[in-house]
Amino acid sequence: MSMKENISSRWRELHGSKNWENLLEPLDPSLRREIVKYREFAQAAYDSFNFDTNSKYCGSKFYRKDELFDKLHLTRHGYKVTKYVYAMSDIIIPHWLDTSLAESAWSKESNWMGYVAVSIDDESERLGRRDIVVAWRGTIAPVEWVQNVKVRLTPLGEENVKVEQGFLSVYTTKDKSSKYNKKSASQQVMKELKKLVSSYKEKGEEVSLTIAGHSLGGALSLLNAYEAATTFANDVPVSAITFAEPRVGNIAFRDKLDKIGVKVLRVVNKPDMVPKVPGFGLMDAMIHNKLGRSIAQNLHWTYAHVGVELEVNISKSPFVKHEFNIVGFHSLEVYIHLIDGYHSSKSEFRKDAERDLALINKSTGMLIDELKFPRIGVNFLTRDLFTTSTVDGLSPQR
């Protein structure tokens, strides 16, 4: 656990007002702690999600919103959950989970996707403002939704602004016959944000909005940030801190986010495949020159990254295996381990990194065998909890 210093005098800078200039190389210690905090909020959306296909509540959450942070030991961050958000889409839950969607299932079409939280008084004083957070959950496996992505750009508000159709579907789909999605995820989250912003603004408080997500959750974070910044204009500074976020929209979408003042910090693990899709490598090269930019603008498959990138590399860590591992490269716990150990692109892994290494093996077996940590995770086919020990040669124990 890091010391909590008062950042009230520099919160705007840490929030991205200067696009994190001079804060990433080397990584500012205060910014690192803030990134870790928001990453833990995103992880909470995974840790409290019910993956058990034998449960009629599969696709729901384990805890009430008033106990979520207490159950996950996150009360130290000084926030409270105010709203749960549900979404609809076949790319949120892979097809091999369809067995859970029987007549007795809690919901056949909705899944718990994230939540809204707000800083309490003491934390707000430390932060220098009232911070409203939206945390979005990603999908179970890194390639499941990639296979379902339609790789087709669809208009978003303005004719030239386009985003990936599947991501937008998750964010905006609703069904009047649904218990949890009579309103779309977009409508649910924006109604709560409007209420909170109005309440704290009326009290004369300064308010910020920070949106965090991993993988698909990172894509939803950008759509959410776009809508929030458009809704609140210049009244509320909006930033998104994403992990393993895929490309979401075209060049016009990127430019529009910049124009309306959304600050985006993208954390990317170099060998992770998800931040490289959708799109094609050729398009990346094209958009960096004027001629290519004008051509690429009109191509429906042209995607562009947004914001500022903070690249980490799993090869820098002496504690994890460096063998090819799609799931391990994409794991959110691996991402935060790499952030905790990051000092600069030219430096070795930080020796005074503070995060418990055992957390890496929550869902992957990425820790090196010499550390003798068992893997504690979930079988992706049966969703059963298990532990394994490759050091002692033990077979999986249920």
Contact 88, 187 (CB under 8 A): no
Give the list of residues 6+ apart from residue 302 with CB closer than 8 angstroms, or none: 153, 250, 251, 279, 283, 286, 287, 296
User: Which amino acid is residue 201, in one-letter code?
Assistant: K
> Of 89, 272, 317, 331, which residue is the catalytic one?
272
Quick check: is 77 catalytic? no
Strands of 130-136's sheet, edge to edge? Answer: 79-88, 110-119, 130-136, 207-214, 238-243, 263-269, 308-312
> Of 77, 214, 330, 337, which residue is the catalytic one?
330
Quick check: is 60 catalytic? no
Quick check: is 73 catalytic? no
- Cα gap 99→184, rounded to integer Å: 24
> Of 60, 186, 215, 317, which residue is the catalytic one?
215
Task: For tokens 């007795």, name the residue.
Answer: 104
Contact 278, 254 (CB under 8 A): no
- Cα gap 102→88, rounded to integer Å: 17
Contact 153, 146 (CB under 8 A): no
Query: What residues are labeled active site?
Result: 215, 272, 330
